[in-house]
A = this chain, B = another copy of it.
Amino acid sequence: MVTVVDVAQRAGVSPTTVSRVLLSPDIVSPGTRSRVLEAVEALGYQPNPMAQGLRMGRGRSVALLVGDIEQSVYSALTKHIQAALEAIGLELLLFNLGHRQDRLRGLLERAAALRLRGICIASSDVIPIRELKPTIQGLVAGGIPVISIGQRLERAGIPSVAHDDTAGVSRAVDYLLESKRGPVAYLGRIKTSAAGRARFQGYRQALQRAGIAVDESLVWESQNRYRYEAGYAEMSEALERGVRVRSVMAASDELALGAMAAALDRDLRVPDDIAIIGFGGVSWGAHVRPALSTIAGNPEALGEHVRGLFQAIEDGRDIPLRSSVELKLVLRQSS
């Protein structure tokens, strides 16, 4: 492998100068600079990141701790974060949490030794933040920024970038209300997570604006996470009970699909008998029949924000504790 010394020899300068040309070109005279650059080019020199990392006290990789890469929300996010980091010359070290808290803890403890450039936590699972806070503060104090994506952790002092769930759901419920189909039900977990609360809050806000009181029999609080079966079960149950409902705002696309399947299995027509809007904007939503209307996330914008944050960090600027990204309402066949 070709090293700084090789380049230096070829350019007739010292290794330091080579380093300078690469890191802060403006403090080197134009003549020397171009000679060095030429040598770099000719020899195909690429700095050894481990030597750099050792010397500078930190590497070029950012760890992404993701809830479950297999879920499309996370894989989409991962894709854009990777692109965003690559755009500013950083690498993505991927760790799949698989929804296990102990792994998060362990990873966070290893992080300092890894000399990471930063840590992104992208998980919608409940994070034992109280317990983790000292570890995280230690990391931040040691120069390793920790940010949360998709889950608001700003109250714990962790810069967070997330979608504005309340506004998104609110807009979708507005739409369902405007179509004047009758009662709108809400399907999703509410109390178990901040995101759940935020989404439900959007539902309440929309009803409130329309001057409608929340009917408890139309709030179906699914217990079994955000999965398909729960949606199917809740919808089936409501239909069994004979609840009068013309549209459903589901807090996830899986739930929505489950609810839709339950309705279809009972020979109800979607959207004629029941309109359904999901949340998440997963790609398969467009391919099921009827195609699922949904409140889609904007992973690209999320990625851009992350890029902005890291760029700010690199430049030594302060970063905001809270940033929001707008969701968008994607209307397809189901509503």
Contact = CB atoms under 8 A, between A and B. Distances in A.
A254 interface: yes
Contacts of A64: 94
Given A69-B69, A288-B288, A47 B113 contact: yes
A83 B59 contact: no
B287 A257 contact: yes
A46 B108 CA distance: 13
A49 interface: yes
A280 to B, nearest CB: 12
Interface in A30-86: 46-51, 53-54, 59, 61, 64, 68-70, 72, 74-76, 78-79, 82-83, 86
Contact of A70 (B79, B98, B112, B264): B79
Contacts of A54: 48, 50-51, 54
B93 A79 contact: no
Copies in the complex: 2
Interface string A102-135: 0000000010111100000000000000000000
Contacts of A95: 82, 86, 92
A109 to B, nearest CB: 9
A118 to B, nearest CB: 15
Contacts of A112: 1, 46
18 contacts: A46-B113, A48-B54, A50-B53, A50-B54, A51-B54, A68-B79, A69-B75, A70-B75, A70-B76, A72-B72, A79-B98, A82-B94, A82-B95, A83-B96, A92-B94, A92-B95, A257-B287, A282-B284
- Which 7 pairs show the lowest CB-CB distances between chains A and B? A46-B113, A50-B53, A75-B75, A284-B284, A50-B54, A94-B94, A50-B50
